[in-house]
Structure 1
Amino acid sequence: MSSRPSIRISALGLDLGRRRIGVAGCDGTGLIATGLTTIERTSFDADVAKLRAIVVERQVQTLVVGLPYTLKGELGYQARQVQKLAWRLAQALDLPLVFVDERLTSIAARDLIQQENRSPSRNKGLIDRKAAALILQQWLDEQRSAALTQARKT
């Protein structure tokens, strides 16, 4: 009887904004993403220090960053700004970087907050965390789907 070794997944999902960074993590199995915190941006070095503490504590292996494509699926100004910051963060944290199409995640996060009878305008940090969780969950689901497809082929 052979048992498959369990693969531990530790990824950090980021929703990068000009004022805040929404941060999400996943359980070790890579099934569920949850919002962890929102970092109020002050300086690049301070932001990296806060993220590094999370990376070390959670033994993060991959950064998953939401890329805000335009509704036409193109890289606009905002997406290019996110890419620049994401690459700098990945380099500073010495982690591989993956981008995920994050179109409409902030709207979905806002809708989730409204369903909880909370005010989106008073919970911007929560929106950022939930958006980061949606970004990370999308990546986790894609990884699982790809692994299942590969397993069926073998």
Structure 2
Amino acid sequence: MDVSDFPSLDIHSSRVMGLDIGERRIGVAVSDSLGWTAQGVEVIDRKENDWMNRLDELVRKYNVRAFVVGLPRNMNGTLGPKGEACMELAKELEQRYSLPVHLWDERLSTVAAERTLIEADISRKKRRKVIDRMAASWILQGYLDAQRRR
């Protein structure tokens, strides 16, 4: 994979991709082209051998210009093994795509997404299918909102 495999960046059509990285699944969200809103796209199964190829396809499809990776911190702000694994994957993304990768504190994003789905009266079985995608949206939306406040 080489950076020439990806389209040239057009400020009006490129997007930011948010990732909620888990051991088994990765929730994927993308921004609109203006960077105002985040939409959940899909959940990639990391147990599949070609999961990185699926991410390649999404990067091309959405003309991604940057990544936001959820960084799970402990409530006291320290990093545990999951946080360290996310940092390692963030480095891999940076090397693979030659794009900026921003780490974003994701504390409670999955909890918030789950609470929203419960309030919407979504069954446990259906929640399991969308929770990672929704958490990726929460992570990315938090990042986008913070960028606008700057």
Q: In which range does the TM-score fall when normalised by the shorter chain?
A: 0.7 to 0.9
Task: String of CA shifts for 1:48-81, please: whole Å, max 9, x gaps.
Answer: 2111111111110001000000000111121001
**Structure-2 separation of matches of 1:120 and 1:31:** 30
Q: Find the residue that maps to 2:50 and give its secondary structure.
A: helix
Equivalent position amino acid for 1:16 in 2: I
Equivalent position amino acid for 1:104 in 2: L
Aligned twin of 2:109:
105
Note the C-alpha offset of 1:41. Answer: 1.0
Aligned twin of 1:3:
none
Which range is displaced more, 34-43 or 58-67?
34-43
Superposition pairs for residues 4-153 of structure 1, below 5 Å? 10-43=15-48, 46-146=50-150
- RMSD after superposition: 1.7
Aligned twin of 2:7:
none
Query: Identity across aligned pairs (percent)?
Result: 37
Relative to the length of structure 1, the TM-score reads 0.84
- Contact kept? 1:20, 1:125, Cα under 8 Å: no
CA gap of 1:116–1:104, structure 2 versus 1, over 3 A, is same
**Structure-2 separation of matches of 1:121 and 1:112:** 15
- The number of residue pairs the alignment matches comes to 140
Q: Which runs of 5+ in 2 are unaligned?
A: 1-10
Q: Find the residue that maps to 2:17 and give its secondary structure.
A: strand
Relative to the length of structure 2, the TM-score reads 0.86
Pair member with larger Rg: 1
Q: Which runs of 5+ in 1 are unaligned?
A: 1-5, 147-154
| Higher helix content, 1 or 2 | 1
CA gap of 1:87–1:121, structure 2 versus 1, over 3 A, is farther
- Contact kept? 2:13, 2:63, Cα under 8 Å: no
CA gap of 1:29–1:123, structure 2 versus 1, over 3 A, is same
